[in-house]
């Protein structure tokens, strides 16, 4: 289980008690303001706990859903476009408007931690939108994996997500041509 510093204070009472539990290796400090009862925690879960209003997306989510076997070097996090820039070299921040940020957000369980992540349908739209900036082989691998699960995808959700973007006709054409 992971905790913020405020949650640690609630649980242990004082800063000194928190410090003692860390010294006894009962709790581990993972990042500034993030603690865990386990020494090693999935980086996606750590980032999600630290930036609770963000949503895990792109490479990190593709890997989580087994759409690729490429282990991401960074955690991809979508945030509100009015958010402060995150100065952490282990995170790739993607800015979005609030109405677009919330669509397709679900909670998944990673090592007993609730993590905000986009569903597979929303990720498909993001993949198509950003295809020009993704290496071709990587893009093709993910598209091929989407083809294999195409019967499991919810077309109503996909249509709803496509409608959020200005070039919806173009996105729909690409989707039809490459996935379905």
| pLDDT averages per 10-residue partition of the chain, 180 residues | 94 94 95 93 96 97 97 97 95 95 96 94 97 96 97 96 92 92
Residues 124 and 50 occupy one common structural domain: yes
Quote the CA–CA distance of 67 and 131 in Å, as a whole number. 15
Q: Which pLDDT score, from 0 to 100, does residue 180 have?
A: 86
If one counts every other C-beta atom within 10 angstroms of the C-beta of residue 180, the result is 12
Quote the CA–CA distance of 20 and 23 in Å, as a whole number. 5
CB 51 within 8 A of CB 77: yes
CB 58 within 8 A of CB 76: yes
How many domains are contained in the chain? 2
Q: Which pLDDT score, from 0 to 100, does residue 138 have?
A: 97
Residues 63 and 133 occupy one common structural domain: yes
Domain ranges, residue 151: 43-178
Residues 8 and 67 occupy one common structural domain: no
Residues 92 and 120 occupy one common structural domain: yes
Quote the CA–CA distance of 179 and 124 in Å, as a whole number. 9
What is the value of pTM for the model shown?
0.92
Torsion angle, CA of 94/158/71/89, rounded to 10 degrees? Answer: 10
Residues 95 and 138 occupy one common structural domain: yes
Residues 121 and 147 occupy one common structural domain: yes
Residues 28 and 79 occupy one common structural domain: no
Residues 25 and 63 occupy one common structural domain: no
């Amino acid at each position: 289980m992971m905790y913020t510093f405020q949650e640690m204070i609630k649980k242990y009472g004082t800063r000194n008690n928190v410090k003692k539990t860390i010294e006894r290796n009962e709790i581990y400090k993972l990042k500034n303001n993030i603690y865990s009862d386990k020494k090693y925690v999935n980086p996606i879960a750590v980032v999600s706990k630290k930036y609770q209003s963000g949503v895990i997306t792109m490479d990190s989510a593709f890997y989580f859903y087994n759409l690729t076997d490429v282990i991401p070097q960074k955690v991809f996090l979508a945030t509100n476009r009015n958010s402060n820039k995150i100065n952490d070299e282990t995170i790739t921040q993607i800015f979005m408007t609030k109405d677009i940020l919330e669509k397709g957000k679900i909670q998944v369980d990673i090592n007993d931690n609730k993590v905000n992540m986009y569903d597979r349908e929303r990720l498909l739209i993001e993949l198509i939108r950003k295809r020009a900036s993704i290496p071709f082989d990587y893009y093709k691998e993910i598209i091929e994996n989407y083809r294999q699960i195409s019967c499991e995808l919810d077309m109503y959700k996909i249509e709803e997500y496509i409608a959020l973007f200005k070039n919806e006709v173009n996105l729909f054409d690409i989707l039809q041509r490459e996935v379905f």
